[in-house]
Amino acid sequence: MSRPKPLQLVDTRVRVVTSDTLEQFIEEYKEQYGEVAFVVLSMKDYENLALNIADLRRYINQQTEIIVYYEEAVTEEKKEDGTESGESE
């Protein structure tokens, strides 16, 4: 069985807009994209999002290590007895 296809993430832009830059931002954004809609995160929520992404990354890395461990264990077993994994004798 082959490993899953690697991720192909799409670029995501985050812009920081303050009350001082809001009007200029809206004007430039409308020119470039048309309609304006807001998705707002507090600074704490943004921090939580970053922490969640870091934790997901840690979890995925640990799962990858487990997968590699078992792949190597199966490969070593194959080398020792000369049979493919899953073959019956």
User: How many Cβ atoms sit within 10 Å of the Cβ of residue 71?
Assistant: 13
Please state the rounded mean pLDDT for residues 22-28. 96
* Choice between 29 and 78, residue whose per-residue pLDDT is larger: 29
Say whether pLDDT at 6 is over 90.
no
Say whether pLDDT at 89 is over 60.
no
pTM for this entry: 0.62
The C-alpha angle 1, 61, 5, rounded to 5 degrees, equals 40
Predicted local confidence at residue 2, as pLDDT: 78
Predicted local confidence at residue 85, as pLDDT: 52
Q: How far apart are CA 63 and CA 69, in angstroms?
A: 10
